[in-house]
Amino acid sequence: MNYMLPLSYAWGNFSVLAVGIWAIVQRDSLDAITMFLTGLLFTVLTDIIHISIFYPSHDFLSDAKRFSIGMAIFSLLLKPVSCYLVYRMYQERGGE
């Protein structure tokens, strides 16, 4: 991440990843998939805030920083697709 985004960005995304692994491992747990979906929706909001606040000005934008912010934006664009797929999994497990 080239030290551009704060540690809260990394901790938020890694903790949602850990909950996602838990949701995949426990196939019968509705609580795990609910927590994973809630975490994904929450990180969409926090990622938007992190990227908009910590985006560097054009003068200080090196290639490594440009790549880092590009991957963060790409991750943000893929999260709605992940939310949809997790919601489908939630419905398969008996969610309302």
Tell me the per-residue pLDDT of 34-62, one tens digit each, with 9 for 90 and over: 999 999 999 999 999 999 998 887 777 88
| Burial classification of residue 62, based on how many CB atoms lie within 10 Å of its CB (0-12 exposed, 13-18 middle, 19 or more buried) | exposed
Question: Alpha-carbon distance 27 to 93, whole Å?
Answer: 8
Band of residue 2 on the pLDDT scale cut at 50, 70, 90 = low
Instruction: Evaluate if pTM is beyond 0.95.
Output: no
Place of tokens 């992190």: 50
- Annotated domain spans of the chain: 7-93
Give the pLDDT score at 80.
Answer: 96
